[in-house]
Amino acid sequence: MLTENFLLVAALLLFVSVLAGKAAYRLGAPALLLFLGVGILFGYNDFVKFDSVEGAQFIGMIAMCIILFSGGMDTKFSDIKPVLTPGIVMATLGVVLTTLIVGGFIYYIAPHLGVEIPLTMAFLIAATMSSTDSASVFSIMRSKKQGLKQNLRPMLELESGSNDPMAYILTIMLVGIVHDGTSIDWVDAMRVFIVQMIVGGALGYGFGRATVWIINRINIRSNPSLYSVLLLACAFFTYSFTSLVNGNGYLAVYIAGLVVGNFRIVYRNMLGNFFDSFTWLLQIILFLALGLLVDVHDLLKPDVLYMGLAVGIFMILVARPISTFICMAPFRGYTKTARTYVSWVGLRGAVPIIFALYPITSGVPGAEYIFNVVFLVTIVSLIIQGTTVSAMANWLNLSFEEPESTFKLSVPDHIRSEFSEVEVNESMLSAGDTLKDIKLPGNTLVVMVCRGDQYFVPKGYTKLHTQDKLLVVSDNNEELIKKAKDLGIKKFVKV
């Protein structure tokens, strides 16, 4: 009966979480916030009991591996190449500055709240919260279908996907210092950081290339579903082996996903769909587990509540803007409004809460207090920043409507031809209103027309109307794009 009851409760939690995700989309709130809320609701007064810190930490490790790997797969290197330097600076120096600024604030404000917090403990609390959360940023950015000017979206995704290693190193280092009572050895800390980043980056790239080679060379096409299992195994192996040899596993798995996503592999669409669904499942499980783990009564204690609210608001309004403007100062290509937006989208999510579990498992005195404060700061960040990601972009005039294709295709990766969607305008029909009258580049073919809710295959004599959407396949997409510009076509979307 125990197994059946567990499955019943798990199914109920997942079902409610999916409904919460749908509600979040309609309300313009981050779905992850409502997943967390579902966990808190069901964990209230031990309605569903889950108190395993080690279990939550293990779930967090598994989830972060897949979230980072999937995020890397979905990121085009051509998009992040122009923002590589500012993204890396934000992911490293930005994390250090956030830790120093927030740590100093916690140390200063603690006596005024009736709490005694040593300086190293204050820095430890700040370090756990110093990275922006990739799960939150990836899910919000991609669910909004909102474009951002000045290449801000790829930079924010690069920062959130690559700043966890720095925060992890600082957290582990400070956990050891607080636990053992030793002083900070900055030389040793820098050595550990350099070794972890170099080993993590090198192995991530190496394992990424090896994964591409294995996926393309191994022949299991008699059962294509096994490719998803194989890619999953490669992701876990990359993380675990890199961590085993003192590299940073989170950096390695993100870079490996980035490599896999930017090379040709068989069954790419199938693998992408699998990892997208699996990522959402793990995000739901992770946020549910973290929500179940927290005790609401502990969050509402005055010393936790006031500290959490004060630190959360300070991070949003002071610490994040200061670190952002310092890190982005050398990059003159970004306007003041762009820097302001980057400073606003410093979302905290599952990662800070996961990092806040390390002091508990390491036996650090006052670790439960750290966990509760970090949990509350995360809620503040998701409520204030997460619900205003889209509105802030509109207010700062940095957003634009990201075109979405009417046609949904699953094209094998080995096919070199590219599919695009073109919307018919008056200039296209100036020489005649039939398909044969439109002058398209060579090696280009219109294969389908969408008119309202109707889809049909056109002939040469088919009459076209303005606002018809054409599915076009071409062997020379650059020439097609140039022709579209000459015809004044505004909506040209790669399918």
CA distance 66 to 429: 48
Q: Of 49-63, 192-206, 304-318, 345-359, which one has max mean pLDDT?
A: 304-318
Q: How far is CA 491 from CA 330, 439, 448, 465, 467, in A?
A: 35, 18, 16, 15, 10
Mean pLDDT of the chain, nearest integer: 84
Comparing 348 with 252, the larger pLDDT belongs to 252
Residue 200 pLDDT exceeds 70: yes
pLDDT of amino acid 411: 63
Residue 96 pLDDT exceeds 80: yes
Where does the pLDDT of residue 491 fall: very low under 50, low under 70, confident under 90, or very high at 90 and above?
A: low
- The residue ranges of DSSP E strands in 39-184, in sequence order, are 146-148
Percent composition of the chain: helix, strand, coil (DSSP 3-state, to 5): 65, 5, 25
| Sequence-ordered alpha helix ranges (H) in 110-225 | 119-128, 134-144, 152-162, 164-180, 186-217
Residue 483, token pair as written in the block: 């022709």
Residue 59, token pair as written in the block: 């779930």
Do residues 474 and 420 lie in contact, with contact meaning Cβ atoms separated by under 8 Å?
yes
Phi then psi for 182, rounded to 5 degrees?
A: -90, 170
End-to-end Cα, the chain, rounded Å: 49
- Identify residue 428 by its one-letter amino acid code: M
Looking at residues 422-448, what average pLDDT do you find? 82
Q: How far is CA 360 from CA 356, 396, 411, in A?
A: 7, 41, 48
